Every structure is written in C-alpha cells, then in structure tokens.
Amino acid sequence: MTKISRPSSWLQRESHRLQQSPIELFETRSLRVNDATLHVERLPERVAGVFREDNQHHPRFALTARRAQRPRITFRGMTAYLDEVHLHRPSEHDLEGDDASGEIHLVHRFDEPRHGGSSHLVLGVLFDARHASTRQRLSPKFCRTWGKAFAPRAKRVPSASPPTLALRDLLPRDERWFHYEGSLTTGDTEPYAEVVSWIVFATPLRVDARDLKHLGEATHQRERKGQALNRRLVVRNF
C-alpha cells in the first residue's frame, strides 16, 4: 500500500472538523444510558444581563451577575454556570429528521473543566409551532422581552430599569435528553471550536403564532447546517 503523507497543517485542520455541531438526533441512532447525573437548579423568575449583538449581528443575552449568583448545572460531577442565552430560527438540531421553529441555547461554562474536556455545557431547548397540542408552552414573557430588545432600532423603546430576561419556564418539564460532544455553532471562522458538551432536550416546547411573531425576523441567529456525526456516540437518558 502506498503511504500517503499529509502536511501537519492539513492534519491539524482536519482534526478540528470531526466534532462539529449541530447534528441530527434520532432515538434509533443513539445509545440509551441510565444517566441521572444531570441536575439543573430551578431557574429564577428573571435574571439580569445585557442584550448584545456581535460584529456579525448575532443577538444574545449575557448575564451580568457574579458567577456564584448565576443559575448552575451539575453534570457528571462538574458544575457549570450560565453565561449567555442565544436563540436560533429555525432550530439547529433536527429531531427525527425535522426542523423545529426555533432553538434556545443556554450557554454554560464549566467551573473547572477536566483536562482535555469541554469548557462549555450548552442546553438546547427546541420550540415548535406545529403539532401544538398539550405540550408545555414557551414563556410568552421571554418572547416579548427578546422581541423588544432586538426590534429594529427605530422601534426600540428605552427602558429605565436594567434588562432582565424571564427564564423560569424555559426548560421542558419532560427531562428526556440527548447528549454528545460537539462544537460552538457561531463564530468568526469555521470550523468552530470543539469545546461543547451538548444536552438537547427531546421534547420541543410549544410556541403560539403570536409569540413567534414577537420574536420577529431580526431577533435571532440563523441556523447552521447539520454536520457529520463522524465517529461520535450520541447517548440518551430514555
């Protein structure tokens, strides 16, 4: 067999393309594990922060409280604190081959990442306007606040009080989730940093047409196309 030599720059570049996000999530293509190691503290009614847009006009909400006062998650013995909230429309992760109307990312940072492990833990919460039966509803307060903050500048109304965001009803009561190792989904250049442990909830929240309208067209980050799974393992707790 002829040996193919690759330049070190090629190897370095390709090694950062193996764990990109988002991906498609299927129950039949994932491994069930008896994993009860995810503990999410009850989110507060509101958290203080600032609404921002980066140089690529990606809207986000960044918390301003000290880390010790922020909502936190414990996952497999490690603690992560909430840093930012992002919103994508349509959803970035596909469930069973389908896009949802949108996806909220609760971006946490591990307090003490393990050597060689991910520095971020992101909860992906999908919401959908279709098949809206008895599913839990995405918070109307969240939709209104987000929509007002990122409305066209001519329509923005200055607030006398510091910005806050309603988070309490943002997490699904259905605690079934998928987990895999992946990457950020936004940044200056691709491929994006592969520093994320992803937990994507299996049941989308319901969003009403009125709330979807509040979110508008300029209030969200566009979805990134699905990436190859490569040799990764996706696990689920159901």
Read off the pLDDT of residues 91-149 as tens digits, 9 standing for 90 and up.
999 999 999 999 999 999 998 877 668 999 999 999 998 865 557 999 888 998 888 88
Q: Is residue 231 part of a domain?
A: no
Q: Which residue has the higher pLDDT, 222 or 184?
A: 184
Average pLDDT on 172-192 reads 89
CATH label of the domain that carries residue 214: 3.10.200.10
> How wide is the angle at C-alpha 167 spanned by C-alphas 161 and 173, nearest 5°?
165
| Dist CA 170 CA 176 (whole Å) | 15
Q: Is residue 7 part of a domain?
A: no
Domain count, the chain: 1
Q: What is the pTM of this model?
A: 0.88
| Dist CA 238 CA 235 (whole Å) | 9
Kindly give, in sequence order, each residue whose CB lies less than 8 Å from that of residue 223, ignoring residues fewer than 6 positions away: 22, 88, 89, 90, 91, 92, 99, 103
Q: Is residue 3 part of a domain?
A: no
Q: Which residue has the higher pLDDT, 230 or 169?
A: 230
Provide, for the chain, the percentages of residues in helix, strand and coil under a 3-state DSSP scheme, each rounded to the nearest 5.
15, 30, 55
**2-16, 62-76, 111-125, 156-170: least confident range:** 2-16
**43-57, 102-116, 151-165: least confident range:** 151-165
Q: Is residue 15 part of a domain?
A: no
Q: Is residue 200 part of a domain?
A: yes
What is the structure's pLDDT at 14? 47
What is the structure's pLDDT at 178? 97
Q: Evaluate whether 231 touches 18 at the Cβ level (below 8 Å).
A: yes
Q: Is residue 30 part of a domain?
A: yes
* Sheet strands (E) in the chain: 24-25, 31-32, 38-40, 46-53, 59-63, 72-75, 78-88, 94-95, 102-110, 120-128, 164-166, 177-182, 196-201, 205-206, 235-236
What is the structure's pLDDT at 114? 77
What is the structure's pLDDT at 149? 85
Q: Is residue 1 part of a domain?
A: no
Q: Which tokens sit at 158?
A: 């200055």
At residue 81 the predicted structure's pLDDT band, cuts being 50, 70 and 90, is very high
Average pLDDT on 52-60 reads 77
Q: Which residue has the higher pLDDT, 121 or 169?
A: 121
**45-49, 86-90, 216-220: least confident range:** 216-220
Q: Is residue 126 part of a domain?
A: yes
At residue 223 the predicted structure's pLDDT band, cuts being 50, 70 and 90, is confident
Which domain covers residue 191, as residue numbers? 20-224
Q: How many CA within 13 A on the CB side of residue 3?
A: 1
Q: Averaging pLDDT over each range in 42-46, 62-66, 158-162, which range is the top one? A: 62-66
